[in-house]
């Protein structure tokens, strides 16, 4: 198989972890006989500095011409600390999602036995937790009509039946491939938009008789994720709720540096770590590359290259078991490994497999 990959390294630690992801992808392609080509493109603060646009047209075209996008992170303190800034790196991320029609964000939450002690939750609660959060990505308050003056402000949580149906279909299909359990998260006791979500989901249930479907208010879901994370198999929800719940889910594993994600929809899919650009660590060779590397595993799996994805996951698990880890998850007294060294170890594992 031939792969054309657009590489958007972005800001902060983005270029450092991006290189590890590219190196792992190249190693896997070489082992399995795939051809791969890369086209680098700018986004975020780097693009604002270069051309004044966080998601310039050339970058959009590179994404559209690719089979997949390997994205890293955007963000820079000089924009975070300037509330008057009209153009921000994060606007590039929203523009990418909108222009590529990326309506489904898929975030797996999976624990590693050797890192359970890093979770803020008790071991007996998190052991065996393995679920997927599916977040609607291009609707709701983030994209609805907005207004603000000195005395009032509003954000419109706008959804259409078509937008709800297409993301629920993703949720049902993922549940069908996993544990056949789907939890629809809403706030139907208060919000009209949530009542439409629940109505549409109930109408679709009969098309998926092999999937057990339940419904949960978002506040209850947030509590249940902490009390009993093993309850969930696949969770689907709207944009704002999903943004909050997926970050909460990331804490279950003990490190945001371990979790990848995929965003799929109408055009080119995007694969990325869930963490941010961590500008304070830029150039220090301490950023954890595993979420970026696991994003490559998700990329292969999206194209039904299951063996390739499985090998990457096996290599990541082996690196953790061998205590080849960046500082934030290293065991006390363990050897020191940086971003480059962890990436190189995993590439070597793949080459020798």
314 is catalytic: no
Both tokens of 8, joined, read 């958007």
- How many other CB atoms sit within 10 Å of the CB of residue 182? 28
Both tokens of 52, joined, read 């004044």
Coil, strand or helix at 51:
helix
Q: Which residues contact 10 (CB under 8 A, 6 or more apart)?
A: 18, 43, 44, 45, 46, 71, 72, 73, 74, 75, 89, 277
Burial of 333 (0-12, 13-18, 19+ CB in 10 A): exposed
Distance CA 295, CA 312 (A): 10
- Catalytic pick among 4, 38, 243, 340: 243
**β-pairing, 181-186 with 234-237?**
parallel
- Catalytic pick among 23, 159, 174, 187: 187
233 is catalytic: no
- Catalytic pick among 118, 169, 247, 314: 247
- Catalytic pick among 19, 76, 99, 142: 142
Q: Which residues contact 125 (CB under 8 A, 6 or more apart)?
A: 226, 227, 228, 229, 230
Residue 334, Cα to own-chain centre: how many angstroms? 29
Distance CA 214, CA 194 (A): 14
Distance CA 312, CA 242 (A): 27
Q: Could you say which DSSP state residue 75 is in?
A: -
Closest CA to 261 of 87, 134, 147: 134
- Catalytic pick among 80, 82, 214, 219: 219
247 is catalytic: yes
58 is catalytic: no
Distance CA 219, CA 214 (A): 15
142 is catalytic: yes
Catalytically annotated residues = 142, 187, 219, 243, 247
């Amino acid at each position: 198989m031939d792969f054309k990959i657009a590489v958007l390294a972005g800001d902060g630690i983005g270029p450092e972890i991006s290189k590890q992801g590219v190196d792992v992808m190249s190693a896997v392609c070489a082992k399995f006989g795939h051809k791969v080509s890369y086209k680098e493109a700018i986004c975020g603060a780097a693009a604002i500095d270069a051309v004044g646009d966080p998601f310039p047209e050339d970058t959009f075209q590179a994404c559209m011409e690719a089979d997949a996008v390997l994205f890293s992170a955007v963000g820079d303190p000089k924009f975070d600390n300037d509330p008057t800034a009209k153009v921000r790196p994060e606007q590039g991320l929203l523009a990418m999602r909108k222009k590529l029609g990326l309506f489904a964000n898929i975030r797996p939450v999976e624990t590693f036995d050797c890192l359970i002690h890093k979770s803020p939750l008790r071991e007996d609660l998190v052991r065996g937790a393995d679920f997927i959060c599916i977040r609607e990505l291009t609707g709701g308050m983030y994209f609805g009509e907005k207004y603000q003056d000195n005395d009032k402000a509003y954000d419109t949580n706008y959804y259409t039946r078509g937008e709800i149906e297409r993301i629920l279909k993703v949720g049902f299909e993922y549940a069908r491939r996993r544990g056949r359990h789907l939890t629809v998260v809403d706030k139907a006791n208060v919000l009209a938009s949530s009542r439409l979500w629940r109505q549409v989901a109930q109408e679709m249930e009969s098309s998926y008789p092999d999937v057990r479907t339940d419904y949960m208010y978002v506040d209850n879901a947030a509590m249940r994720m902490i009390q009993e994370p093993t309850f969930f198999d696949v969770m689907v929800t709207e944009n704002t709720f999903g943004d909050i719940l997926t970050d909460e889910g990331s804490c279950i594993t003990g490190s945001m540096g371990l979790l990848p994600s995929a965003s799929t929809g109408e055009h080119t899919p995007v694969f990325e770590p869930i963490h941010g650009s961590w500008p304070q660590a830029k150039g220090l060779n301490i950023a954890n590359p595993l979420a970026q590397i696991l994003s490559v595993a998700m990329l292969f799996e999206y194209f039904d290259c299951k063996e390739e994805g499985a090998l990457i996951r096996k290599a990541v698990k082996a690196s953790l078991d061998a205590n080849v880890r960046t500082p934030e998850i290293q065991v006390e007294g363990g050897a020191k490994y940086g971003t480059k060294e962890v990436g190189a170890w995993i590439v070597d594992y793949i080459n020798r497999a």
